[in-house]
Amino acid sequence: MLTGRTVRDLLAAFASAEPTPGGGSAAALASSVGASLLIMVAALPKTRANSDEDRAALAAATASLTVLRERLTEAIDADTAAYDQVVAAYKLPKAADEEKAARAAAIQTALRAATDVPLGVMRWSAQALDTATAVGAHGHAAASSDVGVATALLRAGLEGARLNVAANLGGIKDEEYACAVSGEVERLAGGAR
């Protein structure tokens, strides 16, 4: 599990020539950090106006962000696991016709899983970005730079996940699925600008 390793170990793993972990896990990590910073700002003893309205808005944001952060953190490992399956599928034997068919099917299954993980990261990053507006409006003004950093990281995570969806989607032969994903990607990426 990447998330159980130390930060230095994880950085070394990203820098190694091994195919995983790669950009997909890095994008999920960026968004996890962004969501975590928003939870921190919402948890500060002081709020924008120290009003009940502030506290209610921040409590709602925290409830949503806690779920999103957990999903994004799980995606750090899930993206690497899914891409390892893609690499494994491409290495299947392809001498006989039966082997060729089994390999092609395994590649399609693996590519779909490796698309679904960054697509989830896009969705959860977009939802976390929605809460960033509320956290910025109701959170302690002194923490506004933390909200700004969180927003930059969530946008980078969303964009990084988009690049990974696009990279895997190119190999998927199910046109209905590919078209549905493309449409959703466009909506999610457009909403984050």
Q: Whose Cβ is closer to a copy of itself: residue 112's or residue 153's?
A: 153
Q: How far is the CB of 166 from a copy of itself (least distance, A)?
A: 7
* Cβ proximity to a copy of itself, 102 vs 156, nearer residue: 156
Report which of 118, 64, 54, 61 is spatially closest to residue 86, judged by C-alpha positions. Answer: 118
- The answer, yes or no, to whether the previous bond of 118 is cis (omega within 30 of 0) is no
In angstroms and rounded to an integer, the radius of gyration of the C-alpha atoms of the chain is 19
Contact 138, 57 (CB under 8 A): yes
Q: In this structure, what token pair is assigned to residue 4?
A: 């159980």
**Binding interface with a copy of itself (CB under 8 A):** 2-8, 10-12, 14-18, 22-24, 26-27, 29-30, 32-37, 39-40, 43-45, 69, 73, 76, 143-146, 148-150, 152-153, 155-156, 159-160, 163-164, 166-167
**Which lies closer to a copy of itself via its Cβ, residue 14 or residue 177?**
14
Neighbours of 95 (CB within 10 A): 7
Q: How far is the CB of 93 from a copy of itself (least distance, A)?
A: 22
